[in-house]
Structure 1
């Protein structure tokens, strides 16, 4: 059975473009996987705790105490949830050139040595296999091309953190320039919607070839 893990990071659920596009992606995914399951995480409702001295100590303890194990309960839950998925869908806005702090905290809880990656003599090695990721990124400006791309700390981070854990297949879908006028906002949403359709069309064509 296929599993989709959807993670929404927008702090504005009522008018979130990233969530709207994630709805479209989820709907298309269900059509392609009618027997599949969707796991849903809304980080605006249930944000992971930011790292603290106590949580860090628990993460790096070779023999966590009962109290430390309790602090790591959410981290373990999130990691197991991730490992059980086939596709991870992250829907996030760009806030001040980066991802929301709640999404950063999410990654802080799942990127853990010995669990999702390990250090070897050849360098770090991801431990998660067989999962692909899709990130829908919304932004008020368009930070995909020079010179503004130097201010984009979302795309590179998402590809890096996923790849660090072994998830190399990462697709970025942008709704860029949403604050640059009504016409541009409409165009951005349409381009993102078409990118989602193209994503699933490519999957269907690949399956048909096989």
Structure 2
């Protein structure tokens, strides 16, 4: 099994999404003896934002983009640490997405519509949010999980799961409870994914 682990939080050791993504990967390692892990820290080693020059296959940046696409397509499981920043995803994660969402490689346009070409992989998103966005008055502000669901679906990913810690900025007690709840969900989630594989 090839696993691609992506972190995108700028908070380093204080990051909830990093903590959860690491917990998910550790659980996957326990349950799969043949696992091969590739890791990218998009905050420590940020990618250039997309421009035509960055996409040019004749440049170092263009070759890096090809590597990112190949790495994504070759993975069986992708674990993404994705914090909510200002109701959306981090710019670091957006840069990675802009480099892997490539017409003719991860999706294509056909007469019947768009076809995603990144089918057959499992994606687990370690999602962290300062407030409460699943239900209630701020649900319409969620442009993090809704965007990731739509984007990955566009690329052909239908096996998508969120491990969520919500309300982590409300109080230390709320953060601790939310993180523990997310962590407690990980073993059964990974076991279910292993059975489906």
TM-score range, shorter chain: over 0.9
Structure 1 stretches of 5 or more lacking a match? Answer: 59-63
Residue 135 of structure 1 corresponds to 125
TM-score (norm 2): 0.94
CA contact (8 A) 1:48 1:105 kept: yes
Residue 61 of structure 1 corresponds to none
TM-score (norm 1): 0.88
Give the distance between the partners of 1:30 and 1:71, measured in 2 at CA. 32
Residue 157 of structure 2 corresponds to 167
Name the SS of the counterpart of 1:147 in structure 2.
coil
CA contact (8 A) 1:159 1:170 kept: yes
Q: How many residues align?
A: 197
Moved over 6 A (4+): none
Residue 36 of structure 1 corresponds to 35
Structure 2 stretches of 5 or more lacking a match? Answer: none
Name the SS of the counterpart of 1:91 in structure 2.
strand
Residue 86 of structure 1 corresponds to 76
Shift of 1:53: 4.2
Q: Which of 167, 170, 176 pairs up with 1:186?
A: 176
The verdict on how the C-alpha distance between 1:203 and 1:132 changes in structure 2, with shifts beyond 3 A counting, is: closer
Aligned residues: CA RMSD: 1.6
Name the SS of the counterpart of 2:120 in structure 1.
coil
Residue 200 of structure 1 corresponds to 190
Counting only pairs closer than 5 Å after superposition, residues 104-143 of structure 1 correspond to structure 2 as: 104-143=94-133
Name the SS of the counterpart of 2:78 in structure 1.
strand
Residue 26 of structure 1 corresponds to 25
Is 1:100 the equivalent of 2:90?
yes
